Amino acid sequence: MHVTVISPERGVFDGAADAVVAPAFDGQVGILPGHAPFMTLLGKGVLTVQVGGGGSGSNRFEVAGGFLQVVGDAVRVVADQVQTL
């Protein structure tokens, strides 16, 4: 599935991934391929984008505010503040 992480200043991540764990407003949400269309507000916390199964390569970001959107096979994380960990 295709994941993009966007901050106001720039696109932070853009590529294929196996799973996304995001801090939603009311707790963590995990997104796997084939998720239903979904939109939620983000809280504050660590966003993990897993690339190449088994957690061998995962990208972690500190995010706050914004939203997460799943449409088709694409996940879009649009966050107000993003910091790469």
Binding site for another protein (CB under 8 A): 4, 6-11, 24-26, 36-41, 65-67, 69, 71, 76, 78, 80-81
Closer CB to another protein, 17 or 31, in the complex:
31
Contact 79, 63 (CB under 8 A): yes
Residue 47 has, within 13 A of its CA and on its CB side, a CA count of 34
Residue 59: CB atoms within 10 A of its CB come to: 18
CB nearer to another protein: give 26 or 53: 26
Using the minimum distance from each CB to another protein, give the nearer residue, 33 or 38.
38
